[in-house]
C-alpha cells in the first residue's frame, strides 16, 4: 500500500468511492439479457452509452427495472425475455452498443434496425457484421459494413451458441478487431 504524503495536523481517514465503468456496465447488461434468470446490477454507471444500451435492450423485449437500495444507490434488475423485433435502435456513438447489440439482435425474431449519430456511420463494424453473416444472419448494410444496418434475426439454436461465443470473443479480443 502506498502512503500518500501528508502535511496536515491530523491524519486523514476517508473512503473514496470510484464510479463504475460505462463499458463494464454495458457488458453486464448484455450478459444479463442473455441469462436464464433475472440479474441484479448494483451501482451501474448511468451515462448516455448505458442509457442507449438499456433502451436498445428494452426495445428488444428485455425487462429492466430500476429501484433504489436502502442506502440510496441505484439498482437495475434485468429479466431476460424472448427477444423480438421489429424495433429501431439508436446506438448514438456508443461503441459497446453498436458492437455488442447486433449479435443479440441476431437472436431476436424479426427485423432490428440500427442507426446512430452521424459520426457512428464512419465507425467500422465489419468484423461484427462479417462474423454474423458467416453464421447465416441476414444483414442489410448496403455493402458498406457500417451503420445503418438492419438485421433479420431468428438465429437457430445451433447458431445461438456461436453468437454467444462471438460475444465472448469480442469481450476478450476487443482490441484486436480491425476494420473490414
Give the pLDDT confidence of 116-154 residue by residue, as tens digits.
Answer: 999 999 998 998 999 888 888 899 999 999 999 999 987
Q: Are strands 111-115 and 63-68 parallel, antiparallel or unpaired?
A: unpaired
CA distance 77 to 64: 6
- Specify the pLDDT at position 167: 67
And the C-alpha cell for 149? Answer: 444496418
- Domain-embedded: residue 15: no
- Domain-embedded: residue 16: no
And the C-alpha cell for 13? Answer: 481517514
And the C-alpha cell for 46? Answer: 448511468
- Domain-embedded: residue 4: no
Kindly tell me if the per-residue pLDDT of 18 is higher than 60.
yes
Kindly tell me if the per-residue pLDDT of 1 is higher than 80.
no
Domain holding 78: CATH number?
3.65.10.10
- Domain-embedded: residue 7: no
Distance of CA 39 to the CA centre of its chain: 15
Which residues make Cβ contacts (< 8 Å) with residue 110, sequence separation at least 6? 84, 85, 86, 87, 152, 153, 154
- Domain-embedded: residue 73: yes
For the chain, the domain total comes to: 1
- Domain-embedded: residue 63: yes
Least confident of 55-64, 124-133, 145-154, 163-172: 163-172
- Domain-embedded: residue 85: yes
Range of the domain at 100: 22-173
Least confident of 7-16, 48-57, 58-67: 7-16
- Domain-embedded: residue 9: no
User: Phi and psi dihedrals of 4, rounded to 5?
Assistant: -65, 140
Q: What is the rounded radius of gyration, in angstroms, for the C-alpha atoms of the chain?
A: 19
Kindly tell me if the per-residue pLDDT of 172 is higher than 80.
no
CA distance 93 to 27: 16
Cβ proximity of 83 and 104 under 8 Å: yes
Amino acid at each position: 500500500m502506498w502512503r500518500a504524503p501528508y502535511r496536515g495536523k491530523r491524519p486523514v481517514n476517508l473512503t473514496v468511492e470510484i464510479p463504475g465503468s460505462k463499458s463494464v456496465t454495458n457488458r453486464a447488461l448484455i450478459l444479463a439479457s442473455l441469462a436464464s434468470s433475472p440479474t441484479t446490477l448494483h451501482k451501474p454507471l448511468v451515462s448516455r452509452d448505458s442509457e442507449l444500451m438499456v433502451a436498445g435492450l428494452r426495445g428488444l423485449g428485455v425487462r429492466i427495472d430500476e429501484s433504489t437500495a436502502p442506502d440510496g444507490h441505484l439498482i437495475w434488475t434485468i429479466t431476460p425475455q424472448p427477444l423480438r423485433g421489429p424495433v429501431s435502435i439508436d446506438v448514438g456513438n456508443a461503441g459497446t452498443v453498436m458492437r455488442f447489440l447486433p449479435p443479440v439482435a441476431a437472436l431476436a425474431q424479426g427485423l432490428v434496425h440500427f442507426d446512430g449519430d452521424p459520426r457512428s456511420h464512419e465507425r467500422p463494424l465489419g468484423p461484427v457484421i462479417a462474423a454474423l453473416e458467416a453464421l447465416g444472419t441476414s444483414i442489410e448494410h448496403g455493402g458498406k459494413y457500417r451503420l445503418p444496418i438492419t438485421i433479420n434475426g431468428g438465429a437457430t439454436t445451433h447458431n445461438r451458441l456461436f453468437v454467444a461465443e462471438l460475444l465472448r470473443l469480442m469481450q476478450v479480443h476487443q482490441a484486436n478487431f480491425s476494420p473490414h
